[in-house]
Amino acid sequence: MPALLRNVAMVAHVDHGKTTLVDTLLRSTGAFAAHQQVVDRVMDSDAQERERGITILAKAARISYKDTLINLVDTPGHADFGGEVERALALVDGIVLLVDAAEGPLPQTRYVLSKALSRGLPTILVINKVDRGDARPAEVLEEVEQLFLDLAMSDDQLAFPVISAVAREGRAMRGIGMPAADADLSCLLDTILETVPAPQVDASAPLTALVTNLDASDYLGRLAIGRVHSGTMRKGDTVALFGKDTAGNPLKRRIAQLSVFDGIGRTEVEAIEAGDLFVLAGIAEVEVGDTVASLDVTVPLPRLEVDEPVIRMSFGVNTSPYAGREGKFVTSRHLKERLQKEILGNVSIKISDTESPDVTSVAGRGELQLAVLIENMRREGFELQVSRPEVITKDINGKKHEPLETGTCDVPDEHVGTVTQALAPRKGRVTDLRPGDPGRTIVSFEAPSRGLIGFRSMLMTQTRGTALLNQSHAGWTPWAGELPHRLGGAMIADRIGGTTAYALDNLQLRGTLFVHPGVEVYEGMIIGEGARGEEMVVNAVRAKEKTNIRTHSHDDGIKLAAPVQHTLESAIEWIGDDELVEVTPKNIRIRKRALTLEDRRRAKKN
């Protein structure tokens, strides 16, 4: 069986076509039934994945080609979800590296390739989107070869097969060029069979299997997903579970159900041999990184380790006057249970208690990862309030260090100055400038992670949404000192009630508003940003007094400028250390930690 099996991961920088290629491989090998309704990017099954157009969770599917079963693992391209990439690589024996024929290798290409090469995985290079008008496949191949020279652990990793492809149309060819109009993906599938080795395993040895992911079923409870490293896993067998804290004294549990991947679904089986991927039910205590083994095994497999988090935020119970109006889950017990559930399946997120029993500290790989978690909780019916992200520092040789990030920004030529000017006060440094598509420039830079909080939303505003920004963690750098935050002070409501057009008309002269007329506000809620640096406490609910005096100028129709509508990400980036974002299923509000003026004065004094 292992000889007729291949396990391969699709890895690439974000938006270079991994999920689309998996789609066309599934279609071309008949993984979908003739009557099956299939959407584009079928592997992006999560609601946020489809909305954001990115992959967040690593997922597997199986196809059959020339009597060989191929397990395809689709991975995220964003650095924030690197934990998913590392878990995916623990399942496979080779990778398909996709690179855009115009953009070439970008920061996340380097990140995923370095992880794969450090595991000794053979690589197949697919230069995708060769039909683009600005494609430059020969130059991109040279750039990838340079990347391999930088990252390769041994000389044999420098030789790799090259495929040119138009993944969207399911066409590919070996070498550099444009695939013929009638070409298909058979050359890529043949290359996978030739390049990626069959699993090197011993089916007669005692059972050992590593759990790399978790899922849940309403009927079966917790499901463990991973790979069988040796022996055979059988339904109904009693096995030993080596957990994080039970390595010396493993738990004994029975396997209630076993499944393998089949197309984009799963099929129940009686046994799974070494080398294959499994989905197992019946072990409630299982966690990511655990080993499932025969009862006579005494040493577990090495635990799965991922990079440490670099950013933390505090998640607390909603304490605003409007708490409990919209959410189903509003207590600290609900919040803690949900975060505990998250860390069971997401190894790159860490949680810890704080001085307050109602507040939990949550650390992750980046603000996008934490924003996705908050958005998921919001959609599930949670109410919570979150703080501004702060970086996790490290002491190296007695000196304080903070996380460093490298990034690339693809912008129209006229906005290159916008990027460089924005990076300077954030202690960033431009490392490379090169032409991209016609009329666009790719700016490479490095900066402290702290300086890049809020950089994305500022850049999107300044470039009217035309910039493409990608960042990845690049180690540690000495603490860069104080960094500037927003320029304007907060405009804070002084009482509860509904905003009026009359009050907002007067306030818009003093800054930018965040609210429409008729919005429910409360004391301590931030309704705008003042033009000056200092905070101002304002009455946003004042109605026009009814008098019998009328003048032409007073009775002109009120014209309000459109308010700034903060998204979850932009609100998190905008707030200061003494402010919070209130997140409910229907609203995102910005508020002060201390709602009353007296409390704020007292906090400042302390």
Tens of pLDDT along 473-495?
A: 778 888 888 877 777 888 999 89
Q: Report the percentage of the chain scoring pLDDT > 90.
A: 6
Confidence bin at 386 (pLDDT 50/70/90): very high
Q: What pLDDT score was predicted for residue 54?
A: 42
- pLDDT-wise least confident of 80-84, 121-125, 209-213, 253-257: 80-84
pLDDT of residue 25: 80
- pLDDT over 50 (residue 132): yes
Lowest mean pLDDT among 3-7, 264-268, 484-488: 484-488
Given this model, what pLDDT does residue 77 score? 45
Measuring CA to CA, which residue among 591, 586, 580 is closest to residue 522?
A: 591
pLDDT of residue 289: 80
Find the mean pLDDT for residues 183-206. 86
Band of pLDDT at residue 547, cut at 50, 70 and 90: low
Residue 73 has pLDDT above 70, yes or no: yes
pLDDT of residue 345: 60
Predicted confidence at residue 450, as pLDDT, reads 84
pLDDT digits (tens, 9 = 90+) for 239-262: 888 887 765 788 888 888 888 887
- 455-462 vs 416-423: helix crossing angle, rounded to 10: 150
Of 188 and 87, more confident: 188
H or E stretch covering 69: strand 68-74
pLDDT of 45 over the 60 cut: no
Per-residue pLDDT tens for 145-193?
A: 888 888 887 788 888 898 888 888 888 888 888 888 888 888 888 998 8
pLDDT of residue 419: 86
In this prediction, residue 29 has a pLDDT band, given cuts at 50, 70 and 90, of: low
Looking at residue 32, its pLDDT comes to 45
Between CA 6 and CA 195 the distance in angstroms is 10
Q: Is the pLDDT of residue 57 over 60?
A: no
Question: Please, what is the average pLDDT of the chain?
Answer: 80
E strands, 177-283, in order: 208-217, 221-230, 232-234, 238-242, 251-254, 257-262, 265-269, 271-273, 277-281
- Contacts with 307 (C-beta within 8 Å, 6 or more apart), sequence order: 82, 83, 86, 348, 365, 473
pLDDT above 90 (res 591): yes
pLDDT digits 0-9 by tens, 309-360: 888 899 999 999 998 888 888 888 999 988 887 776 666 788 888 888 889 9
Please give the residue that has the higher pLDDT: either 308 or 516.
Answer: 516
What is the pLDDT at residue 581? 92
Summarize the confidence of residues 121-127 as an average pLDDT.
Answer: 89
- Which has the minimum average pLDDT: 24-38, 276-290, 479-493, 585-599? 24-38
Would you say residue 525 has pLDDT above 90? yes
Residues 140-147 have a mean pLDDT of 87
Other beta carbons within 10 angstroms of residue 192's beta carbon come to 23
Number of neighbours of residue 253 by Cβ within 10 angstroms: 18
Question: Distance between CA atoms of 427 and 64, rounded to whole angstroms?
Answer: 52
Element of type H or E holding 171:
strand 171-174
Q: Is the pLDDT of residue 587 over 70?
A: yes
Give mean pLDDT, residues 425-452. Answer: 84
pTM (global) more than 0.75: no
How far from chain centre, in Å, is Cα 359?
23
Q: Structural domains in the chain?
A: 2-195 (3.40.50.300), 208-293 (2.40.30.10), 394-478 (3.30.70.240)
The stretch 436-451 carries a mean pLDDT of 83
- Which pLDDT value is given to residue 592? 92
DSSP state letter for 425: G
